[in-house]
């Protein structure tokens, strides 16, 4: 019984280290472009962080989220090669389109099972009952603006959520925050696919 308890305590200690690592949410691999590259130039503005207080508290380990999100979108669009040129900052006299973004949700949280903290009762976790649950949400509102007229051509509000349940036998071996990276990648893909579709149907007219 002592040996079982010792093993349990060690497993509980390892699986209990659910702290968000600030750089991980920005390490996703950009999705491929589903359309042909065009000859237009895109200027990306710095994102506005309008998240609720709860989201900001849950991601206190990440500084300058507005800058990091902007930088990741810049990398994503350049890697995807949707546009011939992707600028930051915006070149007002040269860019055909302006990409204006707002961070509405960017959230990661691990919620522990209260049973984990009750001596004796926490032994039930050996049966595979979840030790903690992870919730991640990414939501961005995007406007694509005509660089010459300033008219808003299209607007997207896209969201993605990722959840994971962790027990003693499914403990995470990787870095914390991968769920938020997956949600971020998913939303970025939705936005790029939306732009590609609107170019095809003529809603976005290329110069």
Q: Which CATH number fits domain 2-200: 3.40.50.1000, 3.90.920.10, 3.30.160.150, 3.40.50.300?
A: 3.30.160.150
Q: What is the pLDDT of residues 58-97, one digit of tens each?
A: 898 899 999 999 999 999 999 999 999 999 999 988 999 9
Asked if the bond preceding 89 is cis, omega within 30° of 0, the reply is yes
Output the pTM of the full model. Answer: 0.82
Q: What is the pLDDT of residues 41-61, one digit of tens each?
A: 999 999 999 999 999 998 988
């Amino acid at each position: 019984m002592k040996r079982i308890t010792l093993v349990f305590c060690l497993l509980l200690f390892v699986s209990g280290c659910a702290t968000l690592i600030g750089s991980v949410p920005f390490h996703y691999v950009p999705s491929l472009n589903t359309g042909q590259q065009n000859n237009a130039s895109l200027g990306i503005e710095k994102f506005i962080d309008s998240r609720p207080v709860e989201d900001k508290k849950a991601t206190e380990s990440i500084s300058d989220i507005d800058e990091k999100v902007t930088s990741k979108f810049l990398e994503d669009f350049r890697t995807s090669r949707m546009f011939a040129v992707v600028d930051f900052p915006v070149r007002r006299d040269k860019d055909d389109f302006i990409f204006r973004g707002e961070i509405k949700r960017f959230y990661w949280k691990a919620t522990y099972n209260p049973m984990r903290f009750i001596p004796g009762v926490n032994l039930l976790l050996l049966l595979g009952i979840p030790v903690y649950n992870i919730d991640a949400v990414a939501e961005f509102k995007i406007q694509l603006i005509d660089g010459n007229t300033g008219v808003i051509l299209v607007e997207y509000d896209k969201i993605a959520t990722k959840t994971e349940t962790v027990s003693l036998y499914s403990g995470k071996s990787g870095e914390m925050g991968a769920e938020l990276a997956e949600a971020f990648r998913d939303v970025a893909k939705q936005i790029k696919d939306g732009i590609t579709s609107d170019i095809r149907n003529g809603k976005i007219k290329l110069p």
